[in-house]
Amino acid sequence: MSIIEHRVEQAGEQPDYSGKEFTEEEIAAGDHRRFIGGVWDSHGQRQLDFLIGQGLQPGHRLLDVGCGCFRAGRHFVDYLDAGHYYGIDANHSLMQTGYDLELSDEQRAKLPVENLRANDRFDGQFGVPIDMAIANSVFTHVSLNHIRLCLFRLAPVITPGGSFFATFFERPQGSPIDHVSPSKAGKPFFTEKNVFWYFRGDLRWAASFGPWEYRYIGDWGHPANQKMAQFVRLAEDQVRERKERAAAKKATAPARASTASASAGTTFGEDVAELVRRARRGVARRIDPGR
């Protein structure tokens, strides 16, 4: 019997982010904290400090995309005015565990349960305008099409001029697409499956489907060296101007090419004519040196 080769180039981690249910034993052991990457005592405060540096104020409304069990959310709730923190995550059990156990009574009083939603398609529509949003360690575990979906669905939510910040694992331009990068934690990085890495231009492409201006920030102190990207929500007149500029550029491109071609042809023709004149003068001098 002939056996077809089964070649597994590199195994990748495919955790169940949305369907995982935490047992009482797992919760008591702190598995819900480890599920979101640990670094419980410092990384939430780091996110708050970063956003304050980017202009976050207590009166702003903040959307935490991939809020998990509120590693950062508990700090955001303390800083923001009551009712101004909103959170979404793919895993309902994780969010409920965080809300019940990781928040104090005072924090829950500032965070209505109506401000939270479990959804795996980035539904951040709570009926209020959002001034700022953050997705920490989300783009590192979703496909490029999911990133595009996230930006598309957040666009109607974020106020014009507001920003959405997202972290991602970056690889230098020119890295082979099929390269698998090792990590200290033993989880390999892929372009096509979890854990994902991206080029800067990948995020620019995803942003191009919505009213966003993409800006690369880079290093910001992430413990796993994830880089930061910023997506600024454009106003409608800015979107319209961008489309008009793109249309004008597209319309003038053939004319510029034609002009350049004609110019090149004219120059080439003039050069040939000059060479012919010089050749004739040279022949004439040889025949009659006095000329």
Mean pLDDT of 96-125: 98
Q: Are 270 and 228 in the same domain?
A: no
Q: Domain with 37 in it: what CATH number?
A: 3.40.50.150
Residue 7 lies in a domain: no
Q: Give pTM, 2 decimals.
A: 0.85
Q: Please indicate, yes or no, whether residues 210 and 263 belong to a single structural domain of this protein.
A: no
Is 13 strand, coil or helix?
Answer: coil
Q: Is residue 198 part of a domain?
A: yes
What residue numbers bound the domain in which 256 lies?
Answer: 252-291
In a domain, 109, yes or no: yes
- pLDDT for position 266: 54
Which string of DSSP letters, residue by residue, matches 194-232? SSB-B-HHHHHHHHTTTTEEEEEEE-S--TT--EEEEEE
What average pLDDT does the chain have? 91
116 contact partners, CB below 8 Å, separation of at least 6: 67, 86, 87, 88, 95, 99
Contacts of 199 by beta carbon, 8 Å cutoff, 6+ apart = 170, 171, 173, 175
Give the pLDDT confidence score for residue 154 in this predicted structure. Answer: 98
Highest mean pLDDT among 155-169, 238-252, 261-275: 155-169
Tokens 């249910």, residue located: 21
Do 36 and 110 belong together in one domain?
yes
Same domain, 85 and 227: yes
14 in a structural domain: no
User: Exposed, middle or buried by CB within 10 Å (0-12, 13-18, 19+), for 77?
Assistant: buried
Same domain, 218 and 182: yes
Shared-domain flag, residues 202 and 258 = no
The pLDDT tens digits for 176-203 are 999 998 877 778 999 999 999 999 999 9
